[in-house]
Amino acid sequence: MIKSDEFIVLDDVISPQYQDMIEHWLLSPSSSWNFASDIALSDRIVGELGLQSKPGFAKSFYSIKSGSSSDLYPMILPMVFETFHKANIKFDQVLFSRSFLTMPVPGCGPGDYDHIHVDTPDEHMVCLYYANDSDGGDTVFFDHTVADMLEKYNITDRPIYDQQLLEIIDSQSDKKDFKVIKRVTPKKGRAVIFNGLRYHSAARCQSGHRLIVNTCVR
Digit-coded pLDDT (tens) for 132-187: 999 889 999 999 999 999 998 888 877 777 888 998 888 888 898 899 999 999 99
Region 72-97: mean pLDDT is: 97
Concatenated DSSP letters for 99-125?
EEEE---TT--TT-BS--B-S-SSS-E
**Taking the domain 7-217, which CATH number applies?**
2.60.120.620
Lowest-confidence segment of 6-10, 72-76, 170-174 by average pLDDT:
170-174
pLDDT band at 125 (very low <50, low <70, confident <90, very high): very high
pLDDT band at 107 (very low <50, low <70, confident <90, very high): confident
pLDDT band at 108 (very low <50, low <70, confident <90, very high): confident
* Percentage with pLDDT > 90 across the chain: 77
pLDDT digits (tens, 9 = 90+) for 17-65: 999 999 999 999 988 999 999 999 999 999 998 998 999 999 999 999 8
Q: Residue 213 in contact with residue 87, Cβ under 8 Å?
A: no
Q: Residue 183 in contact with residue 137, Cβ under 8 Å?
A: no
Total residue length of the chain: 218
Q: Residue 109 pLDDT > 80, yes or no?
A: no
Residue 183: exposure state from Cβ atoms within 10 A (0-12, 13-18, ≥19): exposed
Distance separating alpha carbons of residues 191 and 172, to the nearest angstrom: 32
Q: Which among 18, 69, 65, 10 is positioned nearest to 187, based on CA atoms? A: 10
Query: Taking the CA atoms of the chain, what radius of gyration do you get in angstroms?
Result: 17
pLDDT of residue 82: 98
Instruction: Show me where the domains of the chain are located.
Output: 7-217
Distance separating alpha carbons of residues 125 and 217, to the nearest angstrom: 5
In this prediction the pTM is 0.95
